[in-house]
Structures are given as structure tokens and as C-alpha cells.
């Protein structure tokens, strides 16, 4: 005959479930650390490849060839991190995470062929940029989904900070890539100028959210980086792009100056990203240790209180006379100490879960808004046949014109789209 689980069994199982979830978060966070390193390597390879292509193989050829093994090592480390995932233990919470990983793996399979085309100069810098943009976007989605499946508010906050920082860093990387193309060619079209301006605005929008969620040290390092020489040089060269006119000409050597300044700034960003990932790893380890210690204390406490001759009473009966308007009759042989203890543990666990839920909802609000904005962008891209950048520009412009938040405009677009589908 099977044993019917008791209150104690469920209490301990709840704590063990929390530990299991934290261990899974620790695995996901380890994956995120490797994703961060891989993104940085791909960003560098993208920039070097662009300069190589635009200059027709005359610039940064050796630097590009030297960077390829570093990217391959990052890909290898990423693959090792993937091996830690238990793909048999999957459910609805991991659908989008695993789908993002499938997209990334498919894109990485295409990387060797893309490299050969670059070496033979068979593709344009624009095509190269778009390929790497999509691959890196897939990796950023992995970080986003890791944050979305997190059920711990503290870990979620760090993941939200990391995602927004890495997204801002990617916008900075794209700004570097398009700037290299323009400066190396010696001219900037109006669309290229608008693209760089939009990327500049977008990255600082991400860094604002990062500052809202980041701890003191990463925020301080970010402020220091933005006052460094590389950032000052970047801003000076951005103004050159703004003032550029179609009949102007720029010496192509400025492309390398732009690349070096942008790279110094992005390398500084990677140091901050590394700091955040280290903070994330330590937080996960501390959370697991803390939860494991609480489980041990629960077990010891229940064993100690259970050393009475009478069997335990249900913890869900009203044991607190102060909070009950009725008098509960305690029969002979009832283990009052254990019943009180279980009742207190149930209450404490319930309060812990309520607090975690509230904090988690607050931490995930930014992620939920991001989902709605992405959905609205998708609607605009489909209905108006425009690019992702153009769709986001429409959202941003509508928000500015109406003196509203972008999320408000996104929600309105989704609502109108739903109404149209219903009729």
C-alpha cells in the first residue's frame, strides 16, 4: 500500500522543487555566460570582415584571420555549455528558449560557408553584416528567453540587466559595422546616416534599462566608460557623419580610426558584460546553497519536533488562537509542537512565495513590454512590408508625436490588429 504524502512531505518537496529550479537556472546562466563571449567574438569578426570586404581585401586581412580561431573557440565553449542542458526535461516554459537555440545552431552551421565567401570577396559588406546581425540576434534571444523562464526575482533582475546591456552592445556593434562601411567607402548615403543615428539612439535606450536593473559596480563602470577617450572620439566622428553631405568626400583611412575607437568602446563593454555574468554565476551558486541549507534546517527541525510519542496533527488546522474566533479542541495524544511548527513553516513558505511572485512580476514587466513591442513590429513589417528598423522607427516616431511611451503605441497596434482579424 502506498504511503499518503503528509504535510511535511509536501513542505520538503516544495523546498526541493525550489532547489531544482535554481539548479536549472544555474545551468541556463552558465549558458548565458558562454553566449555573451560568443556574441563578442562574432561582433569582432563582423567588423573585421566588413573592413576587409569594403577595402577589397586591402585592410585588416591579417587581423580578421587572427580573429577566426578566437570565434571558433567561443563556438566550442558554447557547444560544451549546451551539453549541460537536459533536453529530455522540457516543457512549455522552454519552448522559446530551445527554438532560439535551434535557430542559432542552424546559423552557425552556415558560418564556414559564409567565411569562405568573405575570403574570396564574393559577397558584399551589407550581406555580411545582415548575416552576423541575424546570428547575434538569435543569441540575444537565448539570453532573453533565459530571463523569461527564470522564477527567481534576483536572478531575473541580473538577466534583464545583462540582456539589455548586451542588446545595447549589439547596437553599438552594428553602428561600428555600418560606420566602417561608410568611412571606408568615403561617403554616407542618407539612409546610412539615418541607420547609424537610429542605432545610436537604440543602444542608449537599452543602457537606460540596464541602469535600472544593474547593481552599483557595473553601473559605475558604464558611466566611467562613457566618459573615456574612445567614447569621446566616437561622438566626434558621429558628428562628422551627421554633417556629411553627398558632395563631400572622406579619406578612407578614417575607417580604421572609427573601427579602433568603436572597438575600444565595445571591448570596454565586454568587460562590463563579464562582470555582470560573474555576478550572475555567483548569485545562482549562493541561491542554491541558501535553499539547500534551508531544506536541511527544515528536515532537522521536523525530526527534532517529531520525537514525541504522539503522531503529528494536520498543519492546516487552526492552531493560532489569536487569529481564530473559534476554540479548537485539542484531543489527547496530539503533537502540538509539531503541528504548530508545520503551520508556521506553511505560513512562512506561503509568504516567501508571495514575496517572490511580486518581485518576479516587477522584474519581468520589462521583458513583457519587450515582447509586445516585438509583436507590434512584426505586425507593421507584415502589413506594411517594411524592414525591422523601419517598423521600430514608426513606433518611435508615433510615440514622440503622441507624447506617449512606445509600449502604449505597441499595445494599440496589437489591439487594432486583433479587432481587424475578428471581423
Using DSSP, state whether 335 is helix, strand or coil: strand
Average pLDDT, whole number, for the chain?
81
**Residue 265, pLDDT above cutoff 90:** yes
Residue 291 CA to residue 17 CA, distance in Å, equals 10
Q: What is the pLDDT of residues 166-193, one digit of tens each?
A: 999 999 998 998 888 888 888 888 888 8
**Residue 330, pLDDT above cutoff 60:** no
pTM over 0.85: no
Report in angstroms the alpha-carbon separations of 88 from 16, 84, 85, 94: 20, 12, 9, 11
Q: Confirm if 121 and 56 have CB atoms less than 8 A apart.
A: yes
Please choose, from the candidates 160, 163, 182, 168, the residue with its C-alpha nearest in 3D space to the C-alpha of residue 36. 163
Q: Confirm if 25 and 118 have CB atoms less than 8 A apart.
A: no
Residue 148 CA to residue 243 CA, distance in Å, equals 42
Q: Name the band, by pLDDT with cuts 50, 70 and 90, for residue 302.
A: low
Buried b (16+ CB within 10 A) or exposed e, 290-303: ebbebbeebeeebe
Q: What is the pLDDT of residues 88-138, one digit of tens each?
A: 777 766 788 888 899 999 999 999 999 999 999 999 988 998 899 999 999
Q: What is the pLDDT of residues 31-53, one digit of tens each?
A: 888 999 999 999 989 988 988 89
Task: Give the percent of the chain with pLDDT over 90.
Answer: 26
Using DSSP, state whether 312 is helix, strand or coil: strand
Start-end of H helices in 244-335? 254-305
Res 393: pLDDT:
79
* Exposure of 100 in the CB half-sphere (CA atoms within 13 A): 21
Q: Name the band, by pLDDT with cuts 50, 70 and 90, for residue 367.
A: confident
Amino acid at each position: 500500500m502506498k504511503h499518503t504524502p503528509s504535510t511535511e512531505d509536501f513542505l520538503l518537496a516544495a523546498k526541493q522543487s525550489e532547489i531544482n529550479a535554481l539548479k536549472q537556472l544555474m545551468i541556463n546562466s552558465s549558458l548565458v555566460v558562454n553566449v555573451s563571449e560568443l556574441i563578442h567574438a562574432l561582433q569582432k569578426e563582423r567588423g573585421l570582415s566588413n573592413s576587409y570586404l569594403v577595402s577589397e581585401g586591402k585592410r585588416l586581412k591579417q587581423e580578421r584571420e587572427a580573429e577566426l580561431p578566437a570565434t571558433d573557440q567561443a563556438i566550442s565553449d558554447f557547444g560544451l555549455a549546451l551539453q549541460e542542458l537536459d533536453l529530455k526535461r522540457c516543457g512549455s516554459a522552454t519552448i522559446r528558449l530551445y527554438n532560439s537555440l535551434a535557430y542559432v545552431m542552424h546559423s552557425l552551421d552556415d558560418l564556414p560557408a559564409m567565411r569562405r565567401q568573405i575570403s574570396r570577396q564574393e559577397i558584399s559588406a551589407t550581406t555580411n553584416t545582415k548575416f552576423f546581425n541575424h546570428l547575434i540576434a538569435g543569441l540575444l534571444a537565448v539570453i532573453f528567453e533565459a530571463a523569461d523562464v527564470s522564477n527567481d526575482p534576483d536572478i531575473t533582475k541580473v538577466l534583464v540587466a545583462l540582456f539589455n546591456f548586451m542588446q545595447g552592445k549589439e547596437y553599438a556593434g552594428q553602428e561600428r559595422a555600418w560606420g566602417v562601411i561608410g568611412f571606408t567607402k568615403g561617403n554616407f548615403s542618407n539612409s546610412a546616416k539615418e541607420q547609424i543615428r537610429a542605432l545610436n539612439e537604440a543602444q542608449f535606450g537599452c543602457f537606460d534599462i540596464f541602469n535600472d536593473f544593474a547593481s552599483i559596480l557595473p553601473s559605475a563602470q558604464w558611466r566611467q566608460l562613457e566618459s573615456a577617450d574612445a567614447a569621446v572620439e566616437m561622438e566626434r566622428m558621429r558628428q562628422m557623419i551627421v554633417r556629411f553631405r553627398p558632395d563631400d568626400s572622406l579619406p578612407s583611412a578614417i575607417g580604421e580610426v572609427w573601427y579602433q575607437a568603436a572597438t575600444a568602446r565595445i571591448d570596454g563593454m565586454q568587460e562590463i558584460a563579464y562582470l555582470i555574468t560573474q555576478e550572475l554565476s555567483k548569485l545562482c551558486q549562493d541561491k542554491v546553497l541558501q535553499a539547500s541549507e534551508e531544506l536541511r534546517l527544515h528536515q532537522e527541525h521536523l525530526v527534532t519536533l517529531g520525537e514525541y510519542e504522539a503522531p503529528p496533527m494536520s498543519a492546516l488546522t487552526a492552531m493560532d488562537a489569536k487569529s481564530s474566533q473559534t476554540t479548537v479542541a485539542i484531543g489527547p495524544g496530539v503533537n502540538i509542537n509539531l503541528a504548530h511548527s508545520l503551520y508556521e513553516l506553511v505560513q512562512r513558505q506561503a509568504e516567501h512565495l508571495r514575496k517572490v511572485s511580486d518581485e518576479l512580476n516587477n522584474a519581468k514587466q520589462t521583458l513583457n513590454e519587450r515582447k509586445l513591442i516585438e509583436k507590434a513590429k512584426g505586425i507593421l513589417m507584415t502589413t506594411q512590408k517594411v524592414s525591422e528598423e523601419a517598423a521600430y522607427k514608426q513606433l518611435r516616431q508615433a510615440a514622440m508625436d503622441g507624447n506617449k511611451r512606445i509600449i502604449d503605441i505597441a499595445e494599440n497596434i496589437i489591439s487594432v490588429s486583433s479587432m481587424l482579424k475578428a471581423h
